[in-house]
Amino acid sequence: MAAASFCAVPEDRPVPGFLVRGEWRFERALRPSDLSPAGFEERGAQAGVRFNGFYLFQITDARLALAA
C-alpha cells in the first residue's frame, strides 16, 4: 500500500532541516476555514507543533481513495 507523507509547519515556525528541496515540495497553506486534508488530525498537529515545531502525517492509498 503506497502512502504519501506530509509535514505541516506553522508560518511562524522555521522549516525543519530534514525538508530538503527536491525531496519535499510545498503543497499549500492551510487556513482555519479550510477543510483539513485526509489524515490530518488537529489534536495531533497541536501536540506535534508544541513539542517539535511541526506535524508529520501520512495518507495511505485507502485514505486517498476516500478523499477523492
CA angle, 65 as apex, 30 and 56 as ends, to 5°? Answer: 40
Q: How many domains does the chain have?
A: 1
Residue 51 lies in a domain: yes
Spell out the per-residue pLDDT of the chain, length 68, in tens: 567 899 999 999 999 999 998 889 888 888 889 998 888 999 999 999 999 999 999 987 655 455 55
CA 65, 25, 36, 58 dihedral sign is positive
Containing 57, the helix (H) or strand (E) segment is strand 55-60
Burial class (CB in 10 A: 0-12, 13-18, 19+), 55: buried
Which residues form the domain of 12?
A: 3-27+42-63
Q: Does some domain include residue 16?
A: yes
Domain membership of residue 19 (yes or no) is: yes
pTM of the model: 0.76
